[in-house]
Each structure stands twice: as C-alpha cells, then as structure tokens.
Structure 1
Amino acid sequence: MTTLDSSPTALEELARRLTRLEDRARIQDLVAAYAIAVDDHDLETLLSLFTEDGEFERAGSIARGREEIREFYVAAMDRYSLTLHSPQSDQISVDGDRARGLLTGRAELALDGTLMMAAYRYSDEYARVDGRWLFRRRDLRFMYAVPFERMNAGLCTTERIQWPGTPHRRADFPESLPTWSTYR
C-alpha cells in the first residue's frame, strides 16, 4: 500500500495543481459564457466578461474599453440575425492572476440574408479581477468565413474570407503561420 506524502511541500504542490485546474475550468466557463452571450445578443453579460480596459481585435480593428467594445458589438448584432458559436479546443496557460489562451471554434452566422460558415481562432489574454477571470484581450482570426452554398469552392482557395458585400480576401491562417511552409 502506498501512502500519500503529506509533507508541506507535497501539499503545497497539490494545492497549486488544484488551483491551476480550477483556474482553467473557470476560463473555459468564461469562453462558454462569451459564446452564449454573443448568440443571445446579451450585450450586458458580454461586456461584463471583459476587464474595464479590455480589448477586442478583429480584422486589424481594435475596440478598446467596454464602450468601444459595446459599439463594435451593437453594430455586429444589428447585422447578424442569428449566430451559433461552438467553441471547440483550447490551450490555456495560467500564470498567477494572468493567463493566455488559444481557442478554436466554428460558427454558423446569418448575415444580411446569407448563411455563413466560419472557423476561427481567438488569441486570448485573461486577467483575474476580484477573484473572477475576465477577458483582457481577444484577437479574432478566421481560417474561413464562407457562404454555406459556396463551401466547396470557398474552401479550395486561399481567399477564404468571403463576407457578403465585400471583396474576398486571404484567410488569416493557416498559410500565415511559420510552420505552414517550413514543415518539410
């Protein structure tokens, strides 16, 4: 029979590991709450998930602070009649009251009468504020955003960002990643 080492060092290490797991779970809950708030057009909940000085970046445009983030999402919610965000995988690294994450996901979006399919990544920075994990920064990038009826042709090109009424443009990744062309 093996006995559990109950020395202060072993107990402290166990407590650190448990705290890290709890922090990761709370950050995963934050990510889920964000997706639900966006899909529900619950702007007040959405804003409460960011720090006061939080930032949101999309397509090179950065909204800084909750008021600018509000303006961004009001404009987006006015255009999207329905959204379904599905967070999929995450990598989270916690360091005290700060953390970083890379989240992948997919979305179905009804935009200007067009059903769009998208795959995205968020590069996130999180901060613990008054015991609660919040977004400090979210940087949204797309692998593709293509009308449903053009999925086949739309994914077979590097110009996979095809929002209605805009010129097609190159996808944010994976071609821009250093590993994309150096794996050989």
Structure 2
Amino acid sequence: MTNAAAPADLLARIDRLESIEAIRQLAGKYSLSLDMRDLDAHVNLFAPDIRVGREKVGRAHLKAWVDDTLRDQFSGTSHHLGQHIIEFTDPDHAIGVVYSKNEHETGPEWVIMQMLYWDDYERIDGRWYFRRRLPCYWYATDLNKPPIGDRKMRWPGREPYQGTFHDLFPSWNAFWAARPDKAQLPEVAEPAPLECFLKTLRRGAPDPRIRVR
C-alpha cells in the first residue's frame, strides 16, 4: 500500500509516532550539545524566533545568554534524562515533561540536581523545535550534603531557596492538605482524556515563576 492509498487515520498515526521520536531526540540533543558546549548545535534546537527574556528574540541572543551562564558558573555539566511524556495539541504543536538528573562542577563543589522541564514543541517546515523550556527544580546541593528540609536549592555562594519542582501540579499541595477518612474508600476521578493527561494534572495552574541561578 502506498502512502497515497493509505487511510488518512493511518497516516496521522504514523506521523504522530514519528513526531514523538523526533521530540525525544530533541531532548537528548539538548543535553548532549549543552554538556559538550556546542552552542550552535544547542541553540539550533530552538525555534528561530525563540524569545530570550522579556525583550530579546532569536538564537543569537539565546547563544549569548547560554554562553555567559556556562562560563560564569560551571566548569562541566552532565544531564541525564528520565521519563518523557509528550502530548499533542495539534499535529504541529505538542507539550511535554522531561525529568533530568544533573551534575555540575562549580568551583570547589560538585553539585547534583533533580529537576524537570515543562516544554512546548513546534514543528516548523517539517522539523520539530523547542518553542519554550521551563526548568522546574527540586533540589541542587553538594554531592556530600543531602538536601534534607526546606529550601533545597543550595548553590555555592548563594542563600538557599525553594525550587518550583512541584508548582506545576496542584496535586502536591492538595495531597498534603487532605485528611482522608480511612473508614471509607476514597473516590476515584475519571481517567484523563486522550492527549490530556498533562493538562488534567495541571488543573489550570499558572506557570511558576522560575528563579535564575
């Protein structure tokens, strides 16, 4: 069966699978290019008109910002990706969540970090790009200092502060605020609709304000 004769729904399903793989490759390329300091390869993973801060637009501004950040703070980095959930809003736009466990050589300390990225992806001229990456951190701490307690973001030379790892999803605070009646079975909500798992977990929550390192 040729593509021309294939049912439209089959072609759409194949396109979806190919797009999922392309987006997963995008996340992997992000980590590799960042760790190897190939900044041209890195910024070319983003849409050409990527917004950098509030007023700047374009890959050149992104490259300048990444360059400054890496030279000022890190001698070396390694980003290890975990689970990657991808959902489509239409054939050319998707959202995703990617876990990342990172290591940083920064001055006299070896800082480990657990975080996730909240991503927006866009297909432009047949290729998938990052439209936005929102980094949400749980902890950052010296390898020999477990981040027990509050304010788990503990960079050398800075006051500890709270990350935004749980702020994307209201379920975290709702879980700890609830006091279940153990004499009764809990109610179970209906499963999220297809392509709405992440949206359902968000429950309309606003994006958190991300503190720059």
TM tier relative to shorter chain = 0.7 to 0.9
Structure 1's 64 and 138: CA in aligned 2 closer, same or farther, altered over 3 A?
A: farther
Q: Indicate the structure whose relative CO is greater, using CA pairs within 8 Å and at least 6 residues apart.
A: 1
Structure 1's 56 and 177: CA in aligned 2 closer, same or farther, altered over 3 A?
A: farther
Q: State the partner residue of 1:73.
A: 66
Q: State the partner residue of 1:108.
A: 103
Q: CA deviation at 1:63?
A: 6.6
**2:25 equivalent among 2, 25, 29:** 29
Contact 1:63-1:72 within 8 A present in 2 as well? no
Contact 1:121-1:140 within 8 A present in 2 as well? yes
Provide the rounded CA distance (Å) in 2 between the counterparts of 1:129 and 1:137: 14
Provide the rounded CA distance (Å) in 1 between the counterparts of 2:103 and 2:127: 29
Q: CA deviation at 1:11?
A: 2.5
- Residue 93 of structure 1 aligns to which amino acid in structure 2? E
Question: Pairwise mapping of residues 138-177 of structure 1 onto structure 2 (< 5 A)?
Answer: 138-151=133-146, 154=147, 156-174=148-166, 177=169
- Residue 75 of structure 1 aligns to which amino acid in structure 2? D
Task: State whether structure 2 residue 120 is matched by structure 1 residue 125.
Answer: yes
1:138-182 CA-partner distances (Å, limit 9, x unpaired): 11110111111112xx1x212110111111001212267411121
- Residue 157 of structure 2 aligns to which amino acid in structure 1? G
Q: Which structure's residues are more often strand, by fraction?
A: 1
SS of residue matched to 2:149: coil
- Residue 154 of structure 2 aligns to which amino acid in structure 1? Q
Unaligned runs of 5+ in 1: 1-7
1:87-124 CA-partner distances (Å, limit 9, x unpaired): 11111112211111111110011112311110111111
Q: CA deviation at 1:12?
A: 2.0
SS of residue matched to 2:144: helix
**1:84 equivalent among 75, 78, 99:** 78
TM-score by length of 1: 0.84
Q: CA deviation at 1:62?
A: 8.8
Contact 1:49-1:135 within 8 A present in 2 as well? yes
**1:50 equivalent among 46, 53, 62:** 46
Contact 2:49-2:59 within 8 A present in 1 as well? yes
Q: Quick one: percent identity of the two aligned structures?
A: 27
Provide the rounded CA distance (Å) in 2 between the counterparts of 1:107 and 1:14: 39
Unaligned runs of 5+ in 2: 179-213
CA RMSD of aligned residues (A): 2.1
TM-score by length of 2: 0.73
Provide the rounded CA distance (Å) in 2 between the counterparts of 1:84 and 1:62: 30
Structure 1's 149 and 64: CA in aligned 2 closer, same or farther, altered over 3 A?
A: farther
Runs of 4+ in 1 over 3 A off after TM superposition: 61-64
